[in-house]
Copies of this chain bind each other. A is one copy, B any other.
């Protein structure tokens, strides 16, 4: 999160790249992108020291639209790739983004392990409860009975609860926002980036083309109760399990050692600041 002192203050629009979003008009992901620009500007992050990483999906197109380093990887692999980047160079701000399918379905196995290792990443999941890019199939967060082309008789699989899942896996920062409220979302992203450890930010980001939940969600979204204690994992879990509303805000926050604090690469080959090493000294031990 280095600031470049010569550079004039960057505005949100300065983080816009030349590639124009290919999203449908009205897609919730526009709100998330706007919040991200806002957050980057608020933190004055250096585009040459920031990497936005994604998997595959509509939401995973986001890195192309941001004027920082970016990497659109393979479907579901955003977290291990982002972890590799962060370990290799902990000075980078690494922001992982993607969809509910990318993160909770094919990538679900990585989430748990990223969370427990606690690399200092911010992971913004654009949850639209549907597969957008592949044209509207059921996703792991789709509601029971959801009818799509892949589930014409209604989905029989109970949806997962990503917030509860992240909390139970030991996440050190967990928040939920709504792309319909980009101001709050930007604040959550700022907090997530500032959090020293893995920050999980579930953003409710509707897909008007295949599952238009804007009104439904707007009606159900409310702030976490004012007395919510974000240092209490059980309280956070209780909020995650609520079905009377969709609470937004910071569910949980805890500071514990990050992965890089153990495993950071200090001998970065391109920075050449490691100890002198002549392999012959190692080889001599085999005599």
Q: Which residues of A contact B (CB under 8 A)?
A: 104-110, 112-113, 116-118, 140, 156-161, 164-165, 167-170, 233-234, 237-238, 240-241, 256-257, 259, 262-263
Contact = CB atoms under 8 A, between A and B. Distances in A.
Nearest to A240: B168
Nearest to A112: B108
A123 to B, nearest CB: 16
Nearest to A153: B262
Contacts of A118: 158
Contacts of A233: 241
Nearest to A151: B262
A157 to B, nearest CB: 5
A92 B9 CA distance: 67
Contacts of A140: 113, 116
A263 B241 CA distance: 27
A122 B105 CA distance: 22
Contact of A159 (B107, B116, B157, B237): B116
Contacts of A106: 109
A244 B234 CA distance: 17
Given A109-B110, A113-B108, A256 B158 contact: yes
Nearest to A256: B158
Contacts of A170: 158, 160-161
B257 A156 contact: yes
Nearest to A108: B109
Nearest to A260: B156
Given A168-B237, A241-B233, A263 B156 contact: yes
Contacts of A158: 116-118, 170, 256
A167 B165 contact: no
A278 to B, nearest CB: 22
A74 to B, nearest CB: 14
Contact of A105 (B113, B117, B169, B259): B113
Contacts of A161: 168-170
A234 B170 CA distance: 16
20 contacts: A104-B112, A105-B113, A106-B109, A108-B109, A108-B113, A109-B110, A112-B160, A112-B165, A113-B140, A116-B157, A116-B158, A116-B160, A156-B259, A158-B170, A158-B256, A161-B169, A161-B170, A165-B165, A234-B238, A234-B241
